[in-house]
Copies of this chain bind each other. A is one copy, B any other.
Amino acid sequence: MFDILHRVGVKTSLDTVYTALATPEGVAGWWTTDSTGDSKAGGRIRFRFSEHGKDIGGFDMKIVELVPNASVVWEVVEGPGEWVGTKIRFTLKQEGDFAIVLFKHEGWREPVEFMYHCSTKWATFLLSLKSFGETGTGRPAPNDVKISNWH
């Protein structure tokens, strides 16, 4: 199994970052504006992406774990085959003025080229989360940072 790892520090409270991860309204501020669903463990969240107004797919996640100001874990139940069954884990902690986010997208079966792409995209979205937490404005899709011919 192969994992994507990232670490960012958001100069705000743990509570602000946790809310941005634990609710669809929060995730809409930094990953994709089209985030809908539950805010409790065992529930589901649906993330959709579009380009020029056209749906280009997305992910359905089961909310595996929600520990206030400490962790959020999703499991991918629908989406691209490479993602299904993988987990996305956010672990939070305070360090000085920063809410630190340790990110792990774990359980990729093979380090396919799509995994390289997703690793870089996740970095841009975590920096979007940082900006959202610090300024109130992130860069969720469809206004996300384009990194290549793949998006």
Contacts and interface: CB of A to CB of B under 8 A. Distances in A.
Counting every copy of the chain, the complex holds 2
Contacts of A96: 149
Contact of A103 (B3, B104, B116): B116
Interface in A79-95: 95
Chain A interface size, under 10 / 10 to 19 / 20 to 34 / 35 or more: 20 to 34
B119 A113 contact: no
A119 B4 contact: yes
Interface in A116-151: 116-117, 119-120, 123-124, 126-127, 130, 145, 147-150
Contacts of A126: 120
Interface string A103-120: 110000001010111011
Given A103-B116, A119-B119, A98 B6 contact: no
Interface of A: 2-9, 95-98, 100, 102-104, 111, 113, 115-117, 119-120, 123-124, 126-127, 130, 145, 147-150
